[in-house]
Chain A
């Protein structure tokens, strides 16, 4: 089980401390799928980074009772002066996985050709995304963190990502950040909404989405109603 316990995150900015969210909690059982909704800037990506453990919460704690991935297809997690293959080796060594049997699959999935053995700083964004996604699939995680906005690519790439994730690995947990309610409805049993530094939980995806639409319309009373 993954549990986020009373977590807040404050960033230092030039104009003083900025609180992204305050005292948020939720849990995710093994094999369950949850969506995160929220307006731009609500802190969705920050929450994903905290859950992945790349950054530490300012207060509170996050317990990971399962192997949690890094944010899927996040291109910033790889060394630019290493080749695609070297990055695969690094990730495998760090996670304790033998990289040799994985090379053919990763190479085939990335469709990078000879560039797989070139430094990744020479990759286009699309190439980088394919490599990053393939590397996240190379390690067997129990829980995947998915920020849909990061998985940029053509329709075929999307299709292959969806197959790898939502079909081959549907028994795993995942946390899906998306603005697309259809994706969340299709893949998640429930959703939460990040709004004004708080995390709202709902009985089902529809209720969460209704609230999310109200926050989009920027109706302050939406929040008030919910508080009642």
Chain B
């Protein structure tokens, strides 16, 4: 696949990749957040503003979910943070090749490095904003403490895996056709209302439940909320199913990315 790394023993290749990831990470942070104003704080600030906005809108719209006992702010924070996990990483990767084209000219910089950097930054950003928001809202009493922290972490990690594998697949796909980049945005918008961010599966009619449960991220959000709200609401998820989907997506993603690196042209 890559001569620079292919020629070297594994450990040496690994060292090169770590160097490249570090270089790319610094580059992304500078170009995306700049040195001015809040700088790298925007990594957390961007998703925070989104989540606060959504929570405020939903609160103002009076979406109290008919006495289900779930506080609206906690519902919005868990829901929207989950969306950020799979949507932002994928959007960033779908533009990753084009925006880093000049740097790909360097033999040791591979497409997969660009994607891994962007995925890592998005996961760090979404996770930090989730933690900061949850701590803040819990502190002022708008959000309860999580019922089972381990389940929350488990759900979060599953969403991270899903986001990463989807990002690799979509990002790699853009090397084959620009259509992938163009189609991703409408698809992301359409997926948002179905992703489980704005509803609990329990509230849907049975037929609809079966439909949304095809989407892997719904299982992750349900698991996350099970951890957060405990038995206040009945949750529906199958982590085995979600893990299988993620595994298949990851393998397809890695394959597509490997093929993509053969197609880079200048």
Residues of A within 8 A of B (CB): 11, 49, 52-56, 61-65, 68, 70, 74, 76-82, 86, 89-91, 93-96
Residues on the A chain within 8 Å of B3, using CB: 53, 56, 61-64
Task: Please indicate the chain B residues that have their CB under 8 angstroms from the CB of A93 in the complex.
Answer: 19-20, 22-23, 26
Measured between beta carbons, the chain B residues less than 8 angstroms from A86 are 27, 30
Shortest Cβ distance from residue A79 to the other chain B in the assembled complex, whole angstroms: 6
Contact among B15, B24, B107, B264 with A68 in the assembled complex (CB-CB below 8 Å): B107
Closest partner residue, chain A, to B263 (CB atom): A56
Contact A54 B107 (CB under 8 A): yes
Q: Is the CB of B262 within 8 A of A77?
A: no
What's the least CB distance linking B90 to chain A, in Å? 22
Bound form: Cα–Cα A27–B22 in Å? 34
Bound-state Cα–Cα, A169 to B3, Å: 25
Q: B261 within 8 Å of A by Cβ? A: yes
Binds A, one of B98-106, B180-188, B192-200, B208-216: B98-106
Closest A residue to B8 by CB, please name it. A64
Between A56, A63, A93, A94, the greatest number of chain B beta carbons within 10 A of the residue's beta carbon is seen for: A94
In the complex, the answer to whether B7 meets A80 with C-beta atoms within 8 Å is no
Which residues in chain B, 206-249, are within 8 Å of chain A measured between CB atoms? Answer: none
Beyond the given A65-B7, A93-B20, please list 19 additional residue pairs across the A-B interface where CB-CB is below 8 A: A52-B107, A54-B106, A56-B262, A63-B3, A64-B7, A77-B106, A79-B27, A79-B100, A86-B27, A89-B23, A89-B26, A90-B23, A90-B103, A93-B23, A94-B23, A94-B106, A94-B109, A95-B106, A96-B19
Within 8 Å CB of B2, what residues of A?
53, 56
Flag whether B266 is at the interface (Cβ < 8 A): yes
- A95 CA / B17 CA spacing, docked (Å): 10
Give every chain A residue within 8 A of B31 (Cβ-Cβ): 79, 81-82
**Closest CB of chain B to A191's CB: distance in Å?**
24
Closest A residue, CB atoms, query B5: A53
- CA of A79 to CA of B16 in the docked complex: distance in angstroms? 20
> Across the interface, do A94 and B108 meet the contact criterion of CB distance under 8 Å?
yes
Question: Is B26 a contact of A53 with CB atoms below 8 Å?
Answer: no
* B265 contacts chain A at the CB level, 8 A cutoff: yes
A81 to B26 Cα, complex, angstroms: 13
A70 touches B23 (CB 8 A): no
How far does the alpha carbon of A210 sit from the alpha carbon of B207 in the complex, in Å? 79
Q: Considering the complex, give the chain B residue whose CB is closest to the CB of A81.
A: B31
With known contacts A79-B103, A93-B22, A94-B20, A54–B266 Cβ distance under 8 A: yes
B27 & A70 in contact (Cβ 8 Å cutoff): no
Minimum CB–CB distance for B260 against chain A, Å: 11
Contacts of B24 in A (CB 8 A): 90, 94
Nearest-neighbour CB distance to chain A for B42, whole angstroms, equals 15
Among all A-B residue pairs, the 5 with the closest Cβ atoms: A53-B107, A93-B23, A77-B105, A94-B23, A54-B105
Query: A49 CA to B265 CA in the complex, in Å?
Result: 9
**Distance in Å: Cβ of A73 to nearest Cβ of chain B:** 13
Query: With contacts A54-B104, A56-B262, A76-B105 known, is A94 near B19, CB below 8 A?
Result: yes
Contact A82 to B30, CB < 8 A, known contacts A77-B102, A95-B108: yes
Give CA–CA (A86, B102) in the complex, Å: 14
